């Protein structure tokens, strides 16, 4: 069976290797259309489904895995930063505070399409302005929801839930969805 990860994220690629040793990477290319009237969990599921469907439509004999990660701070949904200033402002906002990371996963083959999400509570350390500037200047936060990676040191004080969810691919959930989509085959 051919598996495709519909994401260019090197972090997702590494995590998926824990479940599937061999797969192809074909990132979804269309612009993300966010429906702001949805709850954050629904929003993440819709975006993951859209990415999965786009790649599946071009590869209908494969099993495709699409993902989307969003960060929720209060009532605000934080995606990837628009640039360095946005990343700085986001990290300043999250400093010393708690937020949630939601990653949705959609798995589809020619027989089934299943989608679910994982949610992790994350508390940040208090970050100095110098720390934030150095981190932003490293470029690391510029391609990540919420402008950070949990694997980058010094940011996260504690978390409650699944670590791999915050990285961008909840491994236990993804494994469960792959089993579900391949049931009875």
Q: Using one digit for the tens of pLDDT, what is the confidence trace for 42-79?
A: 999 999 999 999 999 999 999 999 999 999 999 999 98
The domain total for the chain is 1
pLDDT band at 37 (very low <50, low <70, confident <90, very high): confident
Whether 40 and 77 have beta carbons less than 8 Å apart is answered as: yes
Q: Whole-model pTM? A: 0.94
Residues 6+ apart with CB under 8 A from 109: 62, 63, 64, 181, 182
Tens-place pLDDT, residues 141-161: 998 999 999 999 899 999 999
Instruction: Write down the catalytic residue from 68, 86, 116, 184.
Output: 68
CATH of the domain at 172: 3.90.950.10
Tens-place pLDDT, residues 89-109: 999 999 999 999 999 999 999
Task: List the domain range (segments joined by +) for residue 128.
Answer: 3-181
How buried is 84 (Cβ within 10 angstroms: 0-12 exposed, 13-18 middle, 19+ buried)?
Answer: middle
Average pLDDT over residues 104-129: 97
Tell me, yes or no, if 68 is annotated catalytic: yes
How confident is the prediction for the chain on average, in pLDDT?
Answer: 94
């Amino acid at each position: 069976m051919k598996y495709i990860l519909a994401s260019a994220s090197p972090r997702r690629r590494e995590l998926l290797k824990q479940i599937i040793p061999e797969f192809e990477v074909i990132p979804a290319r269309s612009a993300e259309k966010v429906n702001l009237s949805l709850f954050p969990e629904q929003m993440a599921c819709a975006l993951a489904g859209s990415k999965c469907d786009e790649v599946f439509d071009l590869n209908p004999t494969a099993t495709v895995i699409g993902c989307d990660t969003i960060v929720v701070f209060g009532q605000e949904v934080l995606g990837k930063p628009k640039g360095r200033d946005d990343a700085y402002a986001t990290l300043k906002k999250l400093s010393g505070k708690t937020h949630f990371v939601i990653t949705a996963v959609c798995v589809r083959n020619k027989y089934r399409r299943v989608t679910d999400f994982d949610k992790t509570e994350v508390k940040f350390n208090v970050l100095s302005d110098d720390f934030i500037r150095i981190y932003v200047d490293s470029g690391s936060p510029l391609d990540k929801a919420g402008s950070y990676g949990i694997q980058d040191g010094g940011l996260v004080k504690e978390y409650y839930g699944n670590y791999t969810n915050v990285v961008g691919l909840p491994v236990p959930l993804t494994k469960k969805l792959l089993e579900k989509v391949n049931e009875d085959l």
